[in-house]
Amino acid sequence: MANILETLDINHSFDKDRVMRFPNIQLEKGESKLILGSSGIGKSTLLHVLGGLLKPTSGRVNFMGKSLYELSTKQLDQLRGKQIGIIFQKPHFMQSLTAIENLKLSNTISGGKSTTSQVYELAEQLNIQSRLQAFPHELSQGELQRLSICRAFLKKPAMILADEPTSALDDGNTAQVVNQLQSLQQTYDTALLIVTHDARLKNHQFHTIELGAE
């Protein structure tokens, strides 16, 4: 099976005194992996590099057979917009829009064509359908994270990247969010990569890469 994502000798440096070196990663269609590491080791930096948001100092990122950082800015934006879903650590939504309006706006910006019924169908799988008319400030942290997952999967991307998706959640919500992520990943046959310091996720069925491990 062809790799959705493949990296080679990636490192990144924000200044000359600290170089972050990352292991080579291969991720196939429908595969899920967990990248585990302590705070400050560069997990979010790695996710931004893999998502086409931050060009590495050196190394190569191949996504669906294309070298991400050899694409033009427009090509990279288009590829990322349609094929890469990102779930950030802190959910960001427009506070003046309802949950469903936020989802529809994001889907339109990324070039998606999901109908209202399709939005509700996905939201139902995440048990968030009854909250779609609420505003973001009316939602709990667990509901906001599930809404973020809904937004990421709505465009049916080839790959989902999740940055610390459970760091602000209690044990019950953590288990629920991870189970829902895995269920949707299998339903849509999407590649899933989670970067986190949350060791609770090791209790779930993931192939784990530990940053900083010898």
Cα–Cα distance, 128 to 205 (Å, whole number): 24
- pLDDT for the residue 110: 79
pTM of the model: 0.90
- pLDDT for the residue 214: 44
Query: b/e map of 189-214 (b: 16 or more CB within 10 Å)?
Result: ebbbbbbbebeebeebebeebebeee
Third-level CATH fold of 3-210: Rossmann fold (3.40.50)
Tell me the residue type at 130.
Answer: S
Blockwise average pLDDT, block size 10, the chain, 214 residues:
88 86 92 89 91 94 94 91 89 94 88 82 92 95 91 92 88 87 91 91 85 63
Q: 160 burial class (0-12, 13-18, 19+ CB within 10 angstroms)?
A: buried
**Cα–chain-centroid distance for residue 194?**
7
- pLDDT for the residue 90: 85
